[in-house]
């Protein structure tokens, strides 16, 4: 059984000499997921399970004067109440969260506020009770006295002179230098290449504009959840939906001041993440409650809590200036970007800075980035974090430039495109990348070649995101029938266990179905970093490749000892070990498997990797849309996503990533936003009013997978999870301009915003 | 010698010099030798002997994975970058 | 004040009795009382469709049904779609169409799709999208879901 | 450093002008509101009399439960206006589940009849097709498996998608109370946001759609940013009656642009007696715009909503005229 290969999903393959890689097997976990058998975090049950609920701040910024939990504790059915005071006191330190880093003190403060609340929805206390209704009732009995403080909700407000300060001890950091200035600006950095002033002097055409985006949420369908059981032997067991079980484990060890080995995190199936399930929220509270009660405690956030108490992606202000000569050569570009970190430092502005000009070979470039704290939830990663905000600015400015120059927008991009050897504005030099190939595929696509429908507008844009490497581990055990079991630690959000298994299958010369992959707990496999940064199929796939090579080597050695020949004379292909010189000597993996126990014992391959050679991925969009001029409503009529996958291990799931990222980008472009009222409260914290696209809001999303092999990966893989969310917002804005002649510089492009823009 | 690119925000330490050639076979030596040429880099980059969490270093275009023991070749390029957050 | 009510239902063709409080939704009853966790909770206010079940031939969001209201009802959940180990054509179409990524919305989509195809065996793309507009998916962009529904419709008509 | 380009907020700095005097849906203002139901009692009477008795005995602390798609959400978020201790499931009362097309050409729809039965009913399809406009867009498919026209009316939300349509159809509500039954024209049911003229001890039994006669056409449309699953930013329910190329009747009722659905007299005046023309329709649409008194909130600014009233009224009237056979 394989998955469908649809006509409107094209793979431009460069390498086809694989047997498993590039095919479309049905995913290993599929049947469990279409029959309702798969266990997600909220489905977890345990004997004596208690239910936890979390009390949250109604104020955007306030001092906590007192907390009285006595009435809640007295309520029938309540087993325990915890507050920040229940955390052990530990020295502050900086914690690596896979690809994010944060201060332990900030992490602890975000999980349960101690002296101050910094946003509406900030967690303050946890209650465990015999059922969730009682736990929720108990929350209303906790009495808290606040001194309400003025709040700041945007980078403008936070950076203004005399702005209310969130953290009195926070000073602006400037690349390792502490400015000593107390400020809501946690960080300012700058990248310079060449001479920007000189570059603008050479420019014959200059475009300069400011763009604004607002807070949006990842919108995963399963709210955050976690179950903790702190056993009498001191061991802490956690079951939760996370993008990084090892991050949960290591963070808990630091927060709770217990040895890492005393914590076991079992990742359940995960109902979406998109970056938002990298940080931890409820797990430590459940752990503290379990410690007090001696029983397992489960906490599941409500949808409202998920909006208000997890980590959305920031609103931002982006100023772009770009100049070119009349033949379309960009002479200089400047990006000034300020991003909301939320209540604690750590916005994705650094990543945005490394993405904003990534597709282009610029002689002169300047990037300023500001990481700014505001009274909103601490932001978390969201699919290519920072890059869509930046692209909404720069990719629009480029189309404006193209129009002034009288050039086709794709031709302008191709004229300036970054290739292997291009030095980025932030310094490093690109290895082999596929920006040019993506742009060429866009230009040649039937969608771009087609006539627009009358009244429609067409827009294009491209976007970039890195792959990161980081740690991954994998074990493969050979079974007596020649099948293998593969264990790995990358939690699987979108079918990655199959794309990882396929890479092992390719090495072993067996079918994907003969590899049975499992995502296992933190006791069972070596350290594996988060499912994020477009790294899972790339890095954990690499670990699987290495572990399979280890199995292969051992199989050959075992066959050599069985046949009493030199291992160097043997080879293994298509699951058969054979002699290079003696055609009589042949053994299938199945035959070898059956003899393992009698010939020295089992064969287990293992690998722990931290790969380099990470490539980046570029994605381009072509979008056609129409606008109801009377209501301002946009209808997306046709949408094409074109992305460099390096090598698509499982094309169906690469297409799925591209289509999903496109849909999220379309939602971001059209209607998604946090509406904040004067008190700093989100007024649309439901899936009714936070308007993510429904099936009726989208067309089919056509895809082209471009394959420009990543020379740093055994199969040429580039991570594809993220770059696809980058181009939709500018592509749609460019199409709105094409359709109406109006430049939209603020997201979302909701109907009311479109009509307002048309009027002004 | 390796070529170290000095970010604008650190060029006060090098009198505005944007690139400095530095001896060293690993990142630790590069930083120490750079500090000998232009005092202040150890303070900016290291905290109690470890790389500051707000900094990441790229050697020949790749963000390093082995910390201060990362090998540097005679013709390598070394970049100091702000550490980035993010990912999905 | 009685604390719990005895509710008699048929779930996936089998008689099921359970005790519940009036404040418990059918979704809570299915998941926490009966142990059928295939029906998912995404929003608890009827807007995501992850908890879609079929009651007496029509689909509802089970978070907006009280458990006590299910007295006498015949309920179909995701656990009842397959015939033993034989997957339903819709389930097969979702598998073969790669129409799921994280899978949390999948049970709701499959239950809703089954009701659609029973009512309208050959729906247009627009009819599919309209019927499924109450089921949010954040991973797939719906493309492969819509195609899987089309594929299932074709297979079921051929059968 | 770049010079700062003036930052014009397209939404007119919504932060500053939100004024929740009344809301159009259950805006969750209380952060301790929670997400689960508090304790409730459940009753499922089998006759109108029993239901009325339970309601009357509950001192205003009981609420009828039909589809529950609004009520259960409101109880969960602890909406202070819906502080019920008892829910009275009315779906076991036979007459509330009936749909009858009578000899006079009128249609009675029981208060507990779910929307999907309404839009699949042959008499509705044949004689009152415009009801389907509302019945098929309240919530999504699974909501329509439960939600009722009666509930939509009694919920009294200014945004209720069926109310303007009922008003346009001259529907009369039959309400049972401790002192017997009474009839209320639907336009008199809603009195304010979440407030109705139906007392807490009364029960809506049914809605009666009188025979509109020949030359009748109606339509309900709303504007939402998505294509489904949304609360109307504005909605227009209209009906016309055309005879000899002239409007002999015209009704326009707006949703989401006032504390309650409003029947626009000015629109009727602009239509009645006039020949069917774009001009008359435009005047009626402008009257609707002028009659709207919306607020600015997360669903749109007041100015935008007024503008939408004109657009929607015009479009709906055009469809109604077409359905009436007038175009």
D-facing residues of C in 35-64 (CB < 8 A) are 44-47, 49, 52, 55, 58-61, 63-64
Q: Poorest-confidence range of A625-629, B9-13, C45-49?
A: B9-13
What residues contact residue D146 under an 8 Å CB cut-off, 6+ apart? C60, C64, C65, D67, D68, D69, D114
pLDDT at A467: 83
Residue ending a domain, among C60, C80, C100, is: C80
Residues A520 and A450: beta-carbon distance below 8 Å: no
Compute CA distances A12 → A177, A441, C101, D22, whole Å: 47, 9, 23, 56
pLDDT at D12: 31
Name chain B contacts of A189, Cβ cutoff 8 Å: 7, 9, 82
Which H or E run includes A664? helix A651-670
pLDDT above 90 (res B78) = yes
Q: Are residues C107 and C138 in the same domain?
A: yes
Q: Which SS3 state, helix, strand or coil, does residue A570 take?
A: strand
Task: Please state the rounded mean pLDDT for residues B62-81.
Answer: 89
pLDDT at A92: 77
Please tell me the number of Cα atoms within 13 Å of A302 on its side-chain side.
Answer: 27
Closest chain D residue by Cα to residue A744: D10
Contact (CB<8Å) A756/D11: yes
Closest chain A residue by Cα to residue B12: A177
D-facing residues of C in 106-145 (CB < 8 A) are 112, 115-116, 130-135
Lay out the sheet containing A515-519: strands in order across: A515-519, A484-488, A472-478, A604-609
Q: Considering only CA atoms, which of A543, A470, A547 is closest in space to residue A508? A: A547
| Residues of B engaging A, defined by a Cβ cutoff of 8 Å | 5, 7-10, 18, 43-45, 52-55, 58, 60-63, 65, 77, 79-88
- Whole-number Å distance between alpha carbons of C141 and C125: 14
Residue D11 vs residue A235, higher pLDDT? A235
Instruction: Provide the domain count of chain C.
Output: 2
Q: Are residues C149 and C123 in the same domain?
A: yes
CB of C12 less than 8 A from some CB of A: no
Distance from CA of C47 to the nearest CA of A (A): 6
Q: Are residues C56 and C94 in the same domain?
A: no
Give percent above pLDDT 90 in chain A: 92
Q: Are residues C72 and C113 in the same domain?
A: no
- Digit-coded pLDDT (tens) for A644-667: 999 999 999 999 999 999 999 999
Task: Please state the rounded mean pLDDT for residues C101-129.
Answer: 98
Q: How many CB atoms lie within 10 A of CB C3?
A: 9
pLDDT at B65: 81
Q: How confident is the model at residue D4 (pLDDT cuts 50, 70, 90)?
A: very low
pLDDT above 80 (res A618) = yes
Name chain C contacts of A661, Cβ cutoff 8 Å: 141
Name chain D contacts of C25, Cβ cutoff 8 Å: 37, 72
Which of D91, D115, D140, D229 has the highest number of chain C CBs within 10 A, making it the mutation to test binding with C? D140
Task: Please state the rounded mean pLDDT for residues A696-714.
Answer: 96
Task: Please state the rounded mean pLDDT for residues D25-49.
Answer: 72
pLDDT at B61: 82
pLDDT above 90 (res D23) = no
Please spell the DSSP secondary structure of D302-319, one letter per residue: HHHHHHHHHHHHHHHHHH
Contact (CB<8Å) A694/D231: no
Contact (CB<8Å) C134/D141: yes
CATH code of the domain in which C67 resides: 3.10.20.30
Name chain D contacts of C131, Cβ cutoff 8 Å: 141
Residue with tokens 């910024």: A61
Domain around C99: 89-158
- As to burial, measured by CB atoms within 10 angstroms (0-12 exposed, 13-18 middle, 19+ buried), residue D175 is buried
DSSP character at residue C27: H
pLDDT above 70 (res D27) = no
> Which domains, ranges and CATH numbers included, belong to chain A?
1-17+431-467+615-760 (3.30.365.10), 42-151+218-309 (3.90.1170.50), 469-609 (3.30.365.10)
CB of A223 less than 8 A from some CB of C: yes
What residues contact residue A480 under an 8 Å CB cut-off, 6+ apart? A593, A594, A596, A597
Q: Considering only CA atoms, which of C59, C58, C65, C30 is closest in space to residue C44? A: C65
Q: Do chains D and B touch (3 or more CB pairs under 8 A)?
A: no
CATH code of the domain in which C151 resides: 1.10.150.120
Q: Are residues C16 and C75 in the same domain?
A: yes
Name chain D contacts of C65, Cβ cutoff 8 Å: 68, 72, 146
Residues A542 and A649: beta-carbon distance below 8 Å: no
Contact (CB<8Å) A493/C39: no
Assign 3-state DSSP to chain B and report helix, strand, coil percentages, each to 5.
30, 30, 40
Q: How confident is the model at residue A96 (pLDDT cuts 50, 70, 90)?
A: low
What residues contact residue B6 under an 8 Å CB cut-off, 6+ apart? B13, B14, B17, B18, B19, B20, B80
Name chain B contacts of A420, Cβ cutoff 8 Å: none
Task: Name the residue among A321, A631, A691 with its Cβ closest to that of D223.
Answer: A631
Q: Are residues C150 and C117 in the same domain?
A: yes
Name chain A contacts of B80, Cβ cutoff 8 Å: 175-176
Which of A95, A105, A175 has the highest number of chain B CBs within 10 A, making it the mutation to test binding with B? A175
- As to burial, measured by CB atoms within 10 angstroms (0-12 exposed, 13-18 middle, 19+ buried), residue A515 is buried
Closest chain A residue by Cα to residue D23: A683
Name chain B contacts of A275, Cβ cutoff 8 Å: 86-88
pLDDT above 50 (res D31) = no
Residue with tokens 């089921």: C135
Closest chain D residue by Cα to residue A630: D311
Compute CA distances A237 → A229, A245, A282, A472, A492, whole Å: 5, 12, 14, 22, 20
Contact (CB<8Å) C104/A39: no
Contact (CB<8Å) C5/D42: yes
Instruction: List the beta bridge partners of residue D240.
Output: D217, D250
- Digit-coded pLDDT (tens) for D92-145: 999 999 999 999 999 999 999 999 999 999 999 999 999 999 999 999 999 999
Contact (CB<8Å) D142/C112: yes
Task: Please state the rounded mean pLDDT for residues D228-252.
Answer: 96
Name chain A contacts of B79, Cβ cutoff 8 Å: 426-428
Distance from CA of B25 to the nearest CA of A (A): 19
Residues A492 and A28: beta-carbon distance below 8 Å: no
pLDDT at D8: 30
pLDDT at D9: 29
What residues contact residue A722 under an 8 Å CB cut-off, 6+ apart? A383, A384, A387, A465, A533, A534, A617, A661, B87, B88
pLDDT above 90 (res D83) = no
- Whole-number Å distance between alpha carbons of D111 and D189: 14
Task: Name the residue among D44, D73, D116 with its Cβ closest to that of C58.
Answer: D116
DSSP character at residue A360: B
Q: How many CB atoms lie within 10 A of CB A621?
A: 33
- Whole-number Å distance between alpha carbons of B34 and A175: 16
C-facing residues of A in 600-659 (CB < 8 A) are 652-653, 655-656, 659
Q: Are residues C144 and C101 in the same domain?
A: yes
Q: Are residues C150 and C94 in the same domain?
A: yes
pLDDT above 60 (res A114) = yes
Task: Please state the rounded mean pLDDT for residues A23-49.
Answer: 97
pLDDT, averaged across chain D: 89
> Which domains, ranges and CATH numbers included, belong to chain D?
36-89 (3.30.43.10), 96-209 (3.30.465.10), 216-323 (3.30.390.50)
Q: Are residues C14 and C54 in the same domain?
A: yes
Peptide bond preceding A429 in cis form (omega within 30 of 0): no
H-assigned helices in A526-643? 541-563, 589-595
- Whole-number Å distance between alpha carbons of A156 and A338: 9
> Which domains, ranges and CATH numbers included, belong to chain B?
2-82 (3.10.20.30)
Q: Are residues C75 and C95 in the same domain?
A: no
- Digit-coded pLDDT (tens) for A35-45: 999 999 999 99
Distance from CA of B78 to the nearest CA of A (A): 8
Distance from CA of D295 to the nearest CA of C (A): 25
pLDDT, averaged across chain A: 95
Q: Do chains B and A touch (3 or more CB pairs under 8 A)?
A: yes
Please spell the DSSP secondary structure of A107-169, one letter per residue: HHHHHS-SSEE-STT-EEEEEEESSHHHHHHHHTT-EEEEEE-----SHHHHHSTTPPPS-TT
pLDDT above 70 (res A98) = no
Q: Are residues C13 and C48 in the same domain?
A: yes
Residue with tokens 């698509």: A648
Q: Are residues C37 and C61 in the same domain?
A: yes
Residues A633 and A657: beta-carbon distance below 8 Å: no
Which of A46, A49, A695 has the highest number of chain C CBs within 10 A, making it the mutation to test binding with C? A695
Residue ending a domain, among C51, C80, C109, is: C80
Name chain C contacts of D37, Cβ cutoff 8 Å: 23-25
Residue ending a domain, among C37, C63, C80, is: C80
Distance from CA of D159 to the nearest CA of A (A): 14
pLDDT above 90 (res D80) = no
Name chain A contacts of C43, Cβ cutoff 8 Å: 303, 686-687
Task: Name the residue among A3, A37, A662 with its Cβ closest to that of C141.
Answer: A662
């Amino acid at each position: 059984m394989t998955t469908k290969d649809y006509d409107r999903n094209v793979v431009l393959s460069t390498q086809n000499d694989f047997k498993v890689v590039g095919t479309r097997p049905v995913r290993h976990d599929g049947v469990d997921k279409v029959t309702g058998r798969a266990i997600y975090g909220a489905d977890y049950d345990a004997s004596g399970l208690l239910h936890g609920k979390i009390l949250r701040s109604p104020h955007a910024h306030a001092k906590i004067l007192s907390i009285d939990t006595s009435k809640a504790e007295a309520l029938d059915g309540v087993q325990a109440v915890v507050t920040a005071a229940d955390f052990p006191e530990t020295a502050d330190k900086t914690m690596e969260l896979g690809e994010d880093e944060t201060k332990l003190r900030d992490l602890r403060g975000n999980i349960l506020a101690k002296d101050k609340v910094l946003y509406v929805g900030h967690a303050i206390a946890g209650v465990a009770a015999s059922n969730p209704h009682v736990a929720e009732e108990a929350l209303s009995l906790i009495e808290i006295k606040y001194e309400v403080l003025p709040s700041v909700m945007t980078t403008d407000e936070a950076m203004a002179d005399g702005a209310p300060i969130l953290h009195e001890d926070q000073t602006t950091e400037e690349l390792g230098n502490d400015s000593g200035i107390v400020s809501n600006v946690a960080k300012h950095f700058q990248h310079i290449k060449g001479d920007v002033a000189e570059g603008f002097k050479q420019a014959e055409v200059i475009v300069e504009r400011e763009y604004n985006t607002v807070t949006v949420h990842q919108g995963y369908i399963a709210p955050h959840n976690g179950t903790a059981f702190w056993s009498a032997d001191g061991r802490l067991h956690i079951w939760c939906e996370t993008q990084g079980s090892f991050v949960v484990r290591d963070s808990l060890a630091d927060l709770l001041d217990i040895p890492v080995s005393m914590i076991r995190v079992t990742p359940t199936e995960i109902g979406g993440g998109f970056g938002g399930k990298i940080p931890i929220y409820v797990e430590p509270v459940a752990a503290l409650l379990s410690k007090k009660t001696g029983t397992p405690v489960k906490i599941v956030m409500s949808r409202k809590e998920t909006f208000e108490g997890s980590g959305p992606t920031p609103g931002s202000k982006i100023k772009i200036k770009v100049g070119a000569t009349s033949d379309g050569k960009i002479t200089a570009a400047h990006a000034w970007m300020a991003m909301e970190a939320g209540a604690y430092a750590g916005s994705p502005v650094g990543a945005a800075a490394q993405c904003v000009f990534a597709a282009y070979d610029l002689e002169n470039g300047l990037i300023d980035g500001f990481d700014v704290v505001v009274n909103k939830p601490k932001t978390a990663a969201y699919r290519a974090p920072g890059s869509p905000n930046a692209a909404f600015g720069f990719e629009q400015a480029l189309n404006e430039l193209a129009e002034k120059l009288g050039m086709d927008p794709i031709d302008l991009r191709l004229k300036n495109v970054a290739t292997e050897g291009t030095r980025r504005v932030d310094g490093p030099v690109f290895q082999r990348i596929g920006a040019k190939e993506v742009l060429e595929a866009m230009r040649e696509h039937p969608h771009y070649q087609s006539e627009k429908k009358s009244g429609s507008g067409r827009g294009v844009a491209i976007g970039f995101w890195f792959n990161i490497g980081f740690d991954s581990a994998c074990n493969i055990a050979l079974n007596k029938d020649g099948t293998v079991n593969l264990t790995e630690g990358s939690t699987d959000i979108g079918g990655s266990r199959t794309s990882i298994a396929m890479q092992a299958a390719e090495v072993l010369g067996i079918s994907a179905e003969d590899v049975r992959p499992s995502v296992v707990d933190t006791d069972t496999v070596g350290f594996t970093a988060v499912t994020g940064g477009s790294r899972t199929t790339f890095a954990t796939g690499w670990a699987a490749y290495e572990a399979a090579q280890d199995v292969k080597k051992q199989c050959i050695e075992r066959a050599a000892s069985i046949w009493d020949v030199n291992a160097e004379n043997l080879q293994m292909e298509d699951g058969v070990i054979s002699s290079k010189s003696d055609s009589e000597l042949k053994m299938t993996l199945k035959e070898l498997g059956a003899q393992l126990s009698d010939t020295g014992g089992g064969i287990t391959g293992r690998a722990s990797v931290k790969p380099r050679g990470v490539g980046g991925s570029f994605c381009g969009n072509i979008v056609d849309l129409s606008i109801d001029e009377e209501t301002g409503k946009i209808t997306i009529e046709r949408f094409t996503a074109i992305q460099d996958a390096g090598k698509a291990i499982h094309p169906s799931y690469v297409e799925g990533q591209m289509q999903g990222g496109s849909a999220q980008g379309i939602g971001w472009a059209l209607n998604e936003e946090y509406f904040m009222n004067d008190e700093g409260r989100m007024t649309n914290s439901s899936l009714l009013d936070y308007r993510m696209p429904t099936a009726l809001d989208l067309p089919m999303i056509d895809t082209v997978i471009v394959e420009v092999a990543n020379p740093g990966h055994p199969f040429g893989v580039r991570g594809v999870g993220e770059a696809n969310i980058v181009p939709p917002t500018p592509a749609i804005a460019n199409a709105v301009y094409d359709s109406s002649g109006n430049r939209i510089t603020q997201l979302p492009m909701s109907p009311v915003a479109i009509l307002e823009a048309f009027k002004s | 010698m390796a070529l170290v690119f000095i970010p604008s925000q650190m060029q006060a330490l090098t009198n505005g010099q944007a690139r400095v050639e530095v001896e060293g076979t690993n990142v630790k030596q590069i930083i120490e030798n750079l500090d000998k040429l232009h005092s202040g880099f150890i303070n900016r980059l290291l905290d109690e002997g470890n790389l500051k969490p707000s900094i990441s270093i790229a050697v020949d275009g790749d963000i390093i994975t082995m910390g201060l023991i990362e090998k540097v070749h005679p013709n390598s390029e070394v970049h100091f970058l702000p550490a980035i957050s993010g990912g999905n | 004040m009685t604390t719990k009510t005895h509710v008699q239902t048929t779930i996936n063709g089998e008689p099921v009795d359970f005790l519940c409080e009036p404040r418990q939704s059918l979704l809570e009853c299915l998941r926490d009382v009966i142990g059928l966790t295939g029906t998912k909770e995404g929003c608890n206010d009827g807007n995501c469709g992850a908890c879609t079940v079929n009651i007496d031939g029509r689909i509802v969001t089970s978070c907006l049904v009280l458990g006590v209201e299910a007295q006498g009802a015949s309920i179909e959940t995701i656990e009842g779609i397959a015939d033993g180990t034989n997957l339903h054509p819709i389930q097969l179409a979702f598998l073969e169409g790669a129409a799921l990524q994280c899978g949390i919305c999948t049970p709701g989509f499959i239950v809703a799709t089954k009701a659609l195809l029973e009512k309208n065996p050959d729906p247009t793309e627009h009819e599919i999208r309209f019927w499924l507009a109450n089921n949010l998916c954040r991973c797939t962009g719906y493309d492969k879901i819509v195609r899987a529904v089309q594929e299932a419709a074709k297979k079921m008509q051929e059968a | 450093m770049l010079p700062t380009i003036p930052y014009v907020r397209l939404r007119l700095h919504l932060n500053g002008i939100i004024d929740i005097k009344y809301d159009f849906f259950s805006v969750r203002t209380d952060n301790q509101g929670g997400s689960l139901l508090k304790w409730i009692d459940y009753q499922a009477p089998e006759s109108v009399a029993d239901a009325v008795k339970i309601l009357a005995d509950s001192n205003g602390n009981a609420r009828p439960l039909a589809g529950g798609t609004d009520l259960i959400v409101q109880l969960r978020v602890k909406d202070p206006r819906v502080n019920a201790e008892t829910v009275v499931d009315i779906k076991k009362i036979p007459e509330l589940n009936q749909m009858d097309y009578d000899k006079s050409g009128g249609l009675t729809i029981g208060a507990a009849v779910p929307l999907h039965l309404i839009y699949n009913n042959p008499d509705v399809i044949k004689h009152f097709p415009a009801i389907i406009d509302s019945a098929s867009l309240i919530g999504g498919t699974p909501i329509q498996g439960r939600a009722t026209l009666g509930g939509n009316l009694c919920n009294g939300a200014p945004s209720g998608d069926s109310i303007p349509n009922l008003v346009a159809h001259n529907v009369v509500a039959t309400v049972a109370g401790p002192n017997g039954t009474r009839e209320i024209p639907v336009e008199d049911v809603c009195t304010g946001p979440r407030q109705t003229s139906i007392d807490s001890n009364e029960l809506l039994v049914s809605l009666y759609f009188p025979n509109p006669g020949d030359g009748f056409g109606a339509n309900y449309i709303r504007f939402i940013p998505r294509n489904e699953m949304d609360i109307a930013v504005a909605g227009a329910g209209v009906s016309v009656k055309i005879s000899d190329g002239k409007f002999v009747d015209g009704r326009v009722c707006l949703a989401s642009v006032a504390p309650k659905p409003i029947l626009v007299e000015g629109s009727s005046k602009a239509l009645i007696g006039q020949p069917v023309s774009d001009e008359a329709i435009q005047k009626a649409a402008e009257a609707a715009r002028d009659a709207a008194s919306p607020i600015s909130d997360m669903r749109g600014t007041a100015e935008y909503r007024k503008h939408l009233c004109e657009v929607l009224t015009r479009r709906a009237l055009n469809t109604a005229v077409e359905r009436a056979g007038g175009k």
